[in-house]
Chains A and B, each alone.
Chain A
Amino acid sequence: MSIMEEFLQYLISGITVGMIYVLVALGYNIIYNVTEVINFAQGEFVMLGGLCAVFYYESLHLPLWVAFFMSIGTVGVIGLIFEKFAIRYARSQSVLTLIIVTIAFSIILKGSAMFIWGKDPYSLPAFSAGSPWMVAGAAVQRQSLWIMGISLVIISGLSIFFHNSFYGKAMCACADNPIAAKMMGIPVRRMILLSFTLSAALGAAGGVIITPLSLMEYDRGALLGLKGFSVAVLGGLGNFWGALMAGIFIGIGESFCAGYISSGYKDAVALVALLIVLFVRPEGLLGKTK
């Protein structure tokens, strides 16, 4: 493989992984936009999404696309239950309590996943079979295209939803000024519930589409969540297109680090970026300055 081909290969796999981080980051953004809460269990939703799809596909022998949607639905409901029975109750407490509640919930999800699926990694078949395409000497997995396609559809859909639909605008209004939103007749509680459901489902979608490429196991959630958070902060918390750019940036950075420096340190790329951004520009590279 020539240097150019190698470079292109890293670039493509970087963008693919980056898309998953974008989906996780959007999950943070949605919840943050509505409640200004950071949900530490966000990454676990990705892990659950992947493993639930494996369950529906492998154990119940459902078609892959049914498993995809069932998994998203299941995890969405878990997000809903979490909001309804824990977050809603803890919101009256201090930020510290709220953080610990979401951390505890993430451990519960991780522990349950280990209990149900064990410690082995699981796989799913690619969404469409066939050998990879060759682009200028680099191999593009078909699943990579699926990942990019589905992510872009979701991101555009969410963007339209938040900027143009009544519900979307109402959700944004809740974080800006919950009291005013309530007075305008927006059901703030239902909006918060919706935001948790939506972001859980979003994480699950990311989990299902990445599993055919990189497998899924019970303890992947924490790191995915952290990288997604780095992406969200890098792009400016609450900023959708910022998250997209940041996600691709981090994905490529990781891929290059793994390829040219050391694969062991690739996981540190996002976290170092997070610490640097917090140090230099806490509102995010693409966030608005106040």
Chain B
Amino acid sequence: MNRKNLPGFLVFLVCIGLFPVFATRISAIQHYLDVMIFGGIFGIVAIGLSLLMGYAGQISLAHAAFMGIGAYSSGILTTHFNFSPVPALFLGLLITAIIAFSVGVPSLRLKGHYLAMATLGFGVIVHIIFSEEVNWTGGPSGLVGIPGFGLGDWKLKSTLQWYYFVWLWVAVSILIALNLVNSRIGRAFRAIHEDEKAAEAMGVPTARYKVQIFVVSAAMAAFAGSLYAHYVEFINPGSFDLVWSIRFILMVMVGGIQSIWGSLLGSLFLTFLSNEWLQVFAELEILIYGIILFIISLFFPDGLFPVIFRFLAQQLERRYE
């Protein structure tokens, strides 16, 4: 870990560690533990997507589909083939990586909008397969009876255990992402984002890096999908459709397109928004997301939170001057 990121990371660990202490004692926010588990799972997807979008400047509309591939791999392998969760998870990661590689190689050779369209099309195909292959996936009504997560005799039992387990992996994801970003490869990504031709002339193998980060990012989504499947113990195609892919993009955009912490905050914000605060609007949720995304992308293309933080910092400075 880079020295400059260490304090933030420690604060994060303390917050995450202490949150259940309060949450389990205050009945009004007891169920927040559950929301936080979902927020963490989506956060892993968003962190991966931020690496791809914010740093390498490539857009994917298939991240929900990759999450779905991870979830269904785990679900199908454990229910139909009696795999135990851990090997199922790894096989799912491998499958996702291979698929992402074969989608990424042709479409990343081309300009930005091709990857967007190719991933959009790919996401729809995956969704169709989830719905159609009823014998394997349970079709539109979903796959039931997925076992909880565990290895041998050890099993995750309570919500609290799940909370710590998921957030352990969120912490690992953040660590990996921050390390990557603060390295020669991370700088090369940003260079690709800004000026691909110049990056190439400086010796950056742009095509290879773009495919690599696409695969890593997809694998992170698949990992999150696998956790999701074992936590909910039920999956259906509706959790992995285009709307969800757009939600992940929104999480990254809200939190700050080039910020690992921001995308985690964005995913927490949006998870709470849809689970707690926007339920009144139910049907209109998608319209509201569209408007938020539209405004952010037009007026705050670097993300919403960074603008807010900068504004608050300025106000504070002015006050204490």
Contact = CB atoms under 8 A, between A and B. Distances in A.
Interface of A: 37-38, 40, 86, 89-90, 93-97, 99-101, 103-108, 110-112, 114-115, 222-223, 226, 229-230, 233, 262, 264-265, 267-268, 270-272, 274-275, 278-279, 282
A278 B110 CA distance: 9
Size class of B's contact patch?
35 or more
Chain B interface main SS type: helix
Contacts of A108: 287, 290-291, 294
Contact of B120 (A86, A89, A226, A233): A226
Contact of A267 (B106, B112, B128): B128
B124 A229 contact: no
Contact of B121 (A37, A89, A96, A271): A271
Nearest to B245: A103
Interface string B86-118: 000000000000000001011101111110111
Closest 6 CB pairs of A and B: A111-B287, A107-B290, A104-B294, A271-B121, A104-B293, A108-B290
Contacts of A279: 105-106
Interface of B: 53, 57-59, 61, 103, 105-107, 109-114, 116-118, 120-122, 124-125, 128-129, 131-132, 193, 242, 246, 249, 253, 283-284, 286-291, 293-294, 297-298, 301
A220 to B, nearest CB: 13
A226 B117 contact: yes
A164 B242 CA distance: 41
A100 B124 contact: no
Nearest to A278: B106
Contacts of A112: 287
A243 B269 CA distance: 43
Nearest to A107: B290
Given A86-B298, A103-B116, A107-B287, 16 more contacts: A38-B117, A40-B116, A86-B294, A93-B301, A94-B193, A99-B116, A103-B61, A104-B293, A111-B290, A111-B291, A112-B287, A223-B124, A262-B132, A265-B132, A282-B109, A282-B114
B301 A271 contact: no
Given A100-B249, A278-B107, A114 B294 contact: no
A108 B297 CA distance: 13
Which of B105, B109, B116, B246 has the most A CB atoms < 10 Å from its CB? B116
A282 B121 contact: no
B286 A107 contact: yes
Contacts of A99: 59, 112-113, 116
30 contacts: A38-B117, A86-B294, A89-B298, A90-B298, A95-B113, A97-B297, A99-B113, A99-B116, A100-B293, A101-B298, A104-B291, A106-B290, A108-B287, A108-B294, A111-B284, A111-B289, A222-B124, A223-B124, A229-B121, A230-B121, A267-B128, A268-B125, A271-B125, A272-B125, A274-B121, A275-B106, A275-B118, A278-B110, A278-B118, A282-B109
